[in-house]
Structure formats: C-alpha cells, structure tokens
Amino acid sequence: MAPPKPKRFTKFREVQAEIEKSGSAIFRDANGVDSLIVLSPYSINYIHSYAEDSAFFLGLAEGKLLGSKCTGCGFVYATPRGHCMDCGKPTKWHELPKSGRVHAWTTC
C-alpha cells in the first residue's frame, strides 16, 4: 500500500508552524510546484575573548567604570579602546566618574 501523501501548504505562515511541529513541510506555490522545507537546527558556542577590552568588564565586577586615556593627545574615551583613533598612540586605562548626563535614550 502506498504511504499517505503528505499535506501541501500554500501559506508561508502555515509552513513555519508545521516545521516547528513536525520538522518538515511541503509548500505548494501558485503554479502547483512543491518545495520541500525542513527544520535545520544550528547552534554554536563561541569562545569569545574580550581580549584588550577585558579590563573594562573586569572593572565592572569591582564597581569601577573604566575608560581609556590617550598617552599622546590626552583624549579620554568613555568607551575604551587600546589605541587613539585620532593620533594612533596607545591609551591607558582611566577611571571614569560614575555620574553623567544622558545623551540619548530609547526603550525597546
């Protein structure tokens, strides 16, 4: 006996729902052509190093807000970077005050 013919879906929304449920679905387009669509899981654990930015995040754990100060021109970066984007000289870690004014905001 021939196996039962799987259902065809004509709406993408239905395809998405069916894939979540059973792992696959068949989409039938306006010309009657079928496309096989399957759930294809993908997961990855990156080994993300904060590298030269690490002191900022380690500082947070100690209640410190660290920026960086250029050893060449003295410019202070509130979001730290290892080298000055203006003069190119290395920067040093620089503790920032913990109060300031809000420049821009949103809620999302």
Whichever of 2 and 105 has its CB closer to other proteins, that residue is 105
H-only helix segments in the chain: 12-22, 54-61
- Residue 2 C-beta: closest distance to other proteins, Å: 25
- Residue 4 C-beta: closest distance to other proteins, Å: 23
Whichever of 1 and 51 has its CB closer to other proteins, that residue is 51
Q: Residues in the site for other proteins, rule: CB under 8 A?
A: 12, 15-16, 27, 29, 33, 35, 37, 40, 42, 48, 50, 53, 73-79, 81, 85-86, 103-108
Angle at 97 between CA 103 and CA 53, to 5 degrees: 85
Residue 88: φ, ψ to 5°: 85, 0
Whichever of 1 and 9 has its CB closer to other proteins, that residue is 9
- Residue 56 C-beta: closest distance to other proteins, Å: 8
Distance of CA 40 to the CA centre of its chain: 20
Whichever of 2 and 38 has its CB closer to other proteins, that residue is 38
- Residue 53 C-beta: closest distance to other proteins, Å: 5
CA distances, 68 to each of 40, 58, 90, 91, 106 (Å) = 44, 14, 9, 6, 26
HSE-CB at 58 with a 13 A cutoff on CA atoms is 8
